[in-house]
């Protein structure tokens, strides 16, 4: 194995939006700078906040540079669509909703490429790490809502009447396809797996103003163009893949951009995998602590941390050092 191929960990890029808080520090022991921290971009190749590797051969180098050097060896043969654009395919975040996020929607690829200067669309999913009692989120619109009804509700101050609210709890997974109106609401801490895009159309922002007393921009017409008024997603029902002594393996979300699985391990349990060149794998420890064993020095992964396994890494194991829950993320064969 060459020295540039190894499990990659990164220094997160922090985003300080007005709705954030301090729970990445209080719940997970993250060392944060003073003030509000809304998002931690854990693995990012996006130009606005690329994450640098924090160890080994690539220490200090941002993910786009590593991608440019390794190409298919990093992301795999299934990522041809992303490599053709010189883009890392995915973006992984943590979000701390201390206040309600704006009601928003993301475009699909076709609309974004036409209207956002070549940016891609944004399909995403959330895995709930923490939810205060009674926490809800907004996901889709009420049955029968049309574009005209949505606009009328927005203009009359009655938008809440056409939005779907669903309760959430820690351990829930929620798929958010492009075109789905949504908003994380106060009390939730989630990890987000998404396309490598920041294309967002804000519909409603609760009347808030920024530090200069100005409201944040809205994108109502674009939003009305891309909303899927028939979408009615809900909390995902995991699909069991395997269950054996000490290990439960389930699929949470599968779409054309990524697959997310949940692997629950008892202390001492081991999940064996192999990166054969087809796709990268991203592993995140959501609870407990695991070690990533491979041909070199093991990598310890506490909660809540991620590691990127290059597509050509070869054989690896995920070994639970305590009762643990992990997310496994990779590109589907038809990506």
Q: What is the pLDDT along the chain (335 residues), one digit of tens a residue?
A: 689 999 999 999 999 999 999 999 999 999 999 999 999 999 999 999 999 999 999 999 999 999 999 999 999 999 998 999 999 999 999 999 999 999 999 999 999 999 999 899 999 999 999 999 999 999 999 999 999 999 999 999 999 999 999 999 999 999 999 999 999 999 999 999 999 999 999 999 999 988 788 999 999 999 999 999 998 888 999 999 999 999 999 999 999 999 999 999 999 999 999 999 999 999 999 999 999 999 999 999 999 999 999 999 999 999 999 999 999 999 999 76
Please tell me the predicted confidence (pLDDT) of residue 210.
Answer: 82
Q: Is 202 a catalytic residue?
A: yes
How many alpha carbons fall within 13 Å on the CB side of residue 159? Answer: 18
CATH 2.60.120.10 intervals, the chain: 13-226, 239-330
- One-character DSSP codes across 18-51: TT-BSHHHHTT-----SS-B-EEEEE---TTSPP
Please give the CATH architecture assigned to the domain spanning 13-226: Sandwich (2.60)
Residue-level pLDDT at 224:
97
- The DSSP 8-state label assigned to residue 256 in this structure reads S
Catalytic one of 23, 87, 202, 328 = 202
Q: Which residue has the tokens 């010189």?
A: 86
In angstroms, the Cα distances linking 233 to 124, 150, 197, 210, 268 are 12, 18, 21, 32, 36
- The Cβ-side half-sphere exposure at 221, using a 13 Å CA radius, reads 1
- Please give the model's pTM, rounded to 2 decimal places: 0.96
Nearest CA-CA partner of 288 in 262, 324, 327, 249? 324
Place of tokens 């599968």: 254
Q: For position 115, what pLDDT does the model report?
A: 96
**Cβ count near 1 (within 10 Å):** 12
Class of domain 239-330: mainly beta
What is the C-alpha separation between 2 and 326, in angstroms, rounded? 27
Q: What pLDDT, on the 0 to 100 scale, is given for residue 335?
A: 65
Residue 304: asked if its preceding bond is cis (omega within 30°), the reply is yes
Whose tokens are 């971009």? That residue is 41
Query: Could you tell me the sign of the dihedral formed by the alpha carbons of 43, 48, 53, 54, in that order?
Result: negative
Gap between the Cα atoms of 207 and 165, Å rounded: 19
* φ, ψ of residue 147 in degrees (nearest 5): -55, -45
**Distances 16 to 13, 21, 43, 125, 131 between C-alpha atoms, Å:** 10, 9, 17, 21, 20
Q: What is the pLDDT of residue 81?
A: 87
Instruction: Provide the b/e sequence for 83-110 (b: ≥16 CB within 10 Å).
Output: beeebbbbbbbbbbbbbbbbbbbbbbbe
Phi, psi of 150 (to 5 degrees): -65, -45
Alpha carbon distance 212, 206 (integer Å): 17
């Amino acid at each position: 194995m060459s020295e540039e191929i190894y499990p990659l960990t990164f220094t997160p890029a922090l985003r300080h939006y007005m709705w954030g808080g301090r729970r990445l520090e209080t719940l997970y022991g993250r060392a944060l700078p003073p003030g509000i921290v809304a998002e931690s971009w854990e693995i990012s190749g996006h130009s606005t906040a690329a994450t640098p590797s924090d160890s080994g051969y690539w220490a200090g180098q941002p993910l786009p540079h590593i991608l440019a050097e390794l190409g298919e060896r990093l992301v795999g043969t299934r990522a041809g669509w992303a490599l053709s654009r010189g883009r890392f395919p995915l973006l992984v975040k943590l979000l701390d909703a201390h206040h309600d996020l704006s009601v928003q929607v993301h475009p699909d690829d076709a609309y974004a490429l036409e209207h956002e200067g070549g940016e891609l669309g944004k399909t995403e999913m959330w895995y709930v790490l923490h939810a205060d009692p009674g926490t809800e989120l907004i996901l889709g619109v009420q049955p029968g809502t049309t574009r005209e009804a949505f606009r009328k509700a927005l203009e009359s101050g009655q938008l809440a009447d056409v939005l779907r609210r669903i309760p959430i709890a820690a351990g829930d997974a929620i798929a958010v396809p492009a075109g789905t109106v949504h908003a994380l609401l106060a009390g939730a801490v989630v990890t987000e797996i998404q396309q490598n895009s920041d294309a967002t159309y804000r519909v409603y922002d609760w009347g808030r103003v920024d530090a200069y007393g100005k409201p944040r921009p809205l994108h109502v017409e674009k939003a009305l163009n891309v909303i899927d008024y028939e979408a009615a997603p809900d909390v995902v029902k995991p699909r069991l893949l395997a269950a054996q002594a000490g290990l439960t393996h389930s699929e949470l979300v599968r779409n054309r951009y990524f697959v997310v699985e949940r692997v629950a391990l008892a202390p001492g349990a081991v999940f064996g995998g192999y990166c054969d060149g087809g796709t990268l794998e991203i592993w995140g420890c959501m609870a407990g602590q695991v070690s990533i064993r491979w041909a070199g020095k093991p990598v310890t992964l506490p909660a809540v941390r991620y590691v990127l396994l290059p597509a050509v890494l070869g054989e690896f194991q995920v070994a639970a050092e305590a009762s643990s829950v992990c997310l496994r993320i990779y590109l589907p064969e038809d990506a």
